[in-house]
Structure 1
């Protein structure tokens, strides 16, 4: 799954702007001053488990300082909670971290009895934990089949969560991945908020508000915000509705589009999915997506 992006230059700039000493950061993280200096110099990188404390020491939001474009897997959730793998044994009441390690590697699923304690410690719902587990399993399957790390559309499709997104946060994350492909990734939360406000012609949302929606801190948004967001990213407004069938249809359209990126985007048009294909209504929604994406590609010269 996508690791958090550590920009040493930004971390150093943020620290200096806040007038925080390297020694103060080191003390809060329980590391040496030389460790912090090496991170900022690019000689080494902090453990992913250290990133939450690192961001807190610099008094900024974790997602803002160390962004991750994709959805988290089990290891990502653990690291975002600042927990090393060995420490999960105490969380689930076992002698070793074997159950968690196996699930993170996609070898075997967590037993039901471990899920509540882990979800609580990670600060997520049990559903979110299980969906992260699905991503770990999917990544393991991709490695097994030799498709992990592939470039282009097939690799991107393999990185998607299993099945359609359920929560608003998952819907936003998935559509951002598809609307802004490439190494540069999607715009920042502040930039997305600015685009939404510009489209609406009014200040509806701040960068912090958008970040809360994207990460699941807030699970609902005003209809006018979703209207503007749908227009900005080029997706049907219905995608953000609670109707699971609509979300599934858009998800299928995105998968079809991803599969066609190596060739002509027009191949997706009028295609069905699976043996029975999509209904006429579903295909109309898919083609709306395709048309929007095609316009984006033409506009960016891709």
Structure 2
């Protein structure tokens, strides 16, 4: 599970900058003063279910203060809603949280009647919930394969994905975290908004607007914004379109190139896309890019 990163030093710095005491934060999060003190001292870490309230208490965005690498699975969505697993029994109207626990482990899918109830409680769409469920199932299969001694993927575990992103928010998150991060990690919403405006030559989007796109709060965006964004991150404009087959092709190329950049593949092959697989022409382009990247890296190392 791509859990959110908790940086105690940053949390303490943000609290002090906001002129809040540990007691102030503890009261808003619903814990004792000693809990916040222990978090900041590094003795313990907050439960992932506490992070939304913790970020709110520090007057910060959840993604900004406690970033997460990768797209969320079912447990991530629940934690981001500040809900403990046992509390989901009341949400779906069952005696126990067994159905949710099983889905989070990837043992089985949620029954259809549970999906709208959980989606509403988590503050996401039913489509987003099902995609997170797919990631939980894919992670479980990967664990089973590893345990059985199956063939390992040529990619690092951090680079494995259950499939191409679907929503506009997922596509933006994927491209920023996988293929466009700088030495300090993915750029901030403010940095991306500024780059989009600079590339477009006009003020098209503000920091808050870009955050809304990245988090899925809105999918309404000017075409010129997506044109500029595609130009900035170096992908086809079609990647951001609803056509999932096209997005899958772009995604596969990005995934293979990212693996090549880390030395995980040499001569790459298209796989896992079935009838929407990359064409020989597209694969030739990717192979040329891989070779070019390898040559540049050799020159740097040399």
Specify if TM > 0.5: yes
Cα shift readout 1:195-214 (whole Å, capped 9, x = no counterpart): 33333344333332222111
Aligned to 2:128: 128
Counterpart mapping for 1:219-298 below 5 A: 219-263=219-263, 267-268=267-268, 271-273=269-271, 278-279=278-279, 282-283=282-283, 290=289, 294=293
Counterpart mapping for 1:1-302 below 5 A: 1-146=1-146, 153-158=155-160, 160=161, 162-180=162-180, 184-263=184-263, 267-268=267-268, 271-273=269-271, 278-279=278-279, 282-283=282-283, 290=289, 294=293
Partners of 1:151 and 1:42 lie apart in 2 by 35
Q: 1:44 to 1:151 in 2, by over 3 A?
A: farther
RMSD of aligned residue pairs (Cα, Å): 3.2
How many pairs are equivalent? 295
Q: 1:178 to 1:287 in 2, by over 3 A?
A: farther
Cα shift readout 1:191-247 (whole Å, capped 9, x = no counterpart): 322333333344333332222111111113212211221122121112112222211
Q: Is the 8 A contact 1:152 1:261 kept in 2?
A: no
User: Where in structure 1 are there 5+ consecutive unaligned residues?
Assistant: none
Partners of 1:107 and 1:181 lie apart in 2 by 34
Q: Is the 8 A contact 2:52 2:81 kept in 1?
A: yes
Partners of 1:145 and 1:60 lie apart in 2 by 39
Partners of 1:264 and 1:10 lie apart in 2 by 33
Shift of 1:279: 2.7
Partners of 2:237 and 2:39 lie apart in 1 by 43
SS at match of 1:90: helix
Q: Is the 8 A contact 1:25 1:58 kept in 2?
A: yes
Q: Is the 8 A contact 1:168 1:219 kept in 2?
A: yes
SS at match of 1:257: helix
Q: Is the 8 A contact 2:179 2:258 kept in 1?
A: no
Cα shift readout 1:90-133 (whole Å, capped 9, x = no counterpart): 00111111111111111111111111111110011111101000
Partners of 2:197 and 2:50 lie apart in 1 by 34
